A and B are shown apart, each in its own frame.
Chain A
Amino acid sequence: MSGRKVVLVACGTGIATSTVVAERVKKLLEDNGIKADVIQCKIAEVASKEADLLVTTSILPRTYSFPVVNAMGYLTGIGTEKIDNEIIKHLKD
Chain B
Amino acid sequence: MKVSELINEELVVTNLEVDNQEKVFKILFEKLFKNGYVKESFLQGIVNREKSFPTGLLLGENNVAIPHTDAEHVLKPSIAVATLAKPVMFKNMANPEEEIPVKIVFMLALNSPHSQVEMLQQLVSLFQNENILKQILDAKGGDEVIEVIKKCNINN
User: Residues on A close to B: CB < 8 A?
Assistant: 11-20, 23, 40, 43, 57-59, 70, 72, 74-77
Which of these, B58, B69, B96, B121, contacts A20 with CB under 8 Å? B121
**CB pair A16 B110 closer than 8 Å:** yes
With CB as the reference atom, state the residue of chain A lying closest to B96.
Answer: A59
With a CB–CB cut-off of 8 A, which chain B residues contact A43?
53
With CB as the reference atom, state the residue of chain A lying closest to B53.
Answer: A12
How many B residues touch the partner, as a band?
Answer: 20 to 34
A40 CA / B120 CA spacing, docked (Å) = 15
Which of these, A11, A12, A58, A76, contacts B57 with CB under 8 Å? A76
**CB pair B52 A12 closer than 8 Å:** yes
**CB pair B124 A20 closer than 8 Å:** yes
With a CB–CB cut-off of 8 A, which chain A residues contact B94?
57, 59, 70, 72
**CB pair A20 B120 closer than 8 Å:** yes
With a CB–CB cut-off of 8 A, which chain B residues contact A58?
53, 93
User: Residues on B close to A: CB < 8 A?
Assistant: 49, 52-53, 55, 57-59, 66, 68-71, 93-96, 108, 110, 113-114, 116-117, 120-121, 124, 127-128
With a CB–CB cut-off of 8 A, which chain B residues contact A12?
49, 52-53, 55
CB distance from B93 to the nearest CB of A (A): 6
**CB pair B117 A13 closer than 8 Å:** no
**CB pair B69 A13 closer than 8 Å:** yes
With a CB–CB cut-off of 8 A, which chain B residues contact A72?
93-94
24 CB contacts below 8 A, A to B, read: A12-B52, A12-B53, A13-B53, A15-B110, A15-B113, A16-B108, A19-B113, A19-B117, A20-B117, A20-B124, A23-B117, A23-B121, A40-B113, A57-B93, A58-B53, A58-B93, A59-B53, A59-B95, A72-B94, A76-B57, A76-B59, A77-B59, A77-B127, A77-B128
With CB as the reference atom, state the residue of chain B lying closest to A57.
Answer: B93
With CB as the reference atom, state the residue of chain A lying closest to B106.
Answer: A16
**CB pair B49 A13 closer than 8 Å:** yes
A72 CA / B128 CA spacing, docked (Å) = 12
Which of these, A19, A59, A70, A76, contacts B120 with CB under 8 Å? A19
